[in-house]
Structure 1
Amino acid sequence: MTIDTEVRQIIAEQALLDISDVTAEKSLEDLGIDSLGLVESIFAIEEAFDINVPFNANDPQASDFDISSVGAIVKAVEKLIQDQRG
């Protein structure tokens, strides 16, 4: 499974959607994911990839982790994996 597919699957599970509905250009808000769902998604991503996401749940916009769209989240996860595994 690719990083893209795995991240989309995690988000789909949080939103109770089919993975085909979770496309790169959609925001979490578009998918009906609230702040609690976002935090749960971040935890699931951290666990799935054994990474630490620099995420501020109280102010997601202040984070270096881009949550503006599914595609942005995938790119951020790919970068974290590369940075943390060297």
Structure 2
Amino acid sequence: MTENVRDKVVEIIAEQAVLDVEDVKMDSTLEDLGIDSLGLVESIFAIEEAFDIQVPFNANEPEQSDFDISSVAAIVTAVKGLVTEQKGG
């Protein structure tokens, strides 16, 4: 499941950034990838749908959220935590 989460999150982010999956590095920020605030919101919706989870995220104030969007790796870690918490694994 862990690899699947990472791969799916990277795939969603790559799609939003209009990049190849290989171009999305774990240490990349969304800004590095050219994802703006609308792309971020669309990514969050896609992640929620893909994993059937609810992301605690305030698009107007992302710094106020418990969902870390500082890098691709941070997003993957946050999604893994939510999947475990909300889906039991």
Q: Confirm or deny a common fold (TM above 0.5).
A: yes
TM-score scaled by length of structure 1? 0.98
Counterpart of 2:57 in structure 1 is 55
Structure 1 counterpart of 2:68: 66
How many percent identity over aligned positions?
A: 67
1:25 Cα deviation from its structure 2 partner: 0.2
Instruction: State the TM-score, normalizing by the size of structure 2.
Output: 0.94
Q: Helix, strand or coil for the counterpart of 1:29?
A: coil
Residue-by-residue CA offset, 1:14-54 (whole Å, 9 max, x unaligned): 00000001111000000000000000000000000000000
Corresponding residue for 1:77?
79
Kindly report the root-mean-square deviation, in angstroms, between the aligned alpha carbons of the 2 structures. 0.8
- Number of the residue aligned with 1:19: 21
Instruction: Give, in whole Å, the separation in 2 of the partners of 1:76 and 1:15.
Output: 20
How many equivalent pairs are there?
86
- 2:27 is aligned with what amino acid? E
Deviation at 1:85, TM superposition (A): 1.5
Which sections of structure 2, spanning at least 5 residues, go unmatched? Answer: none
1:5 aligned residue: 7
Q: In structure 2, what residue type is equivalent to 1:25?
A: D
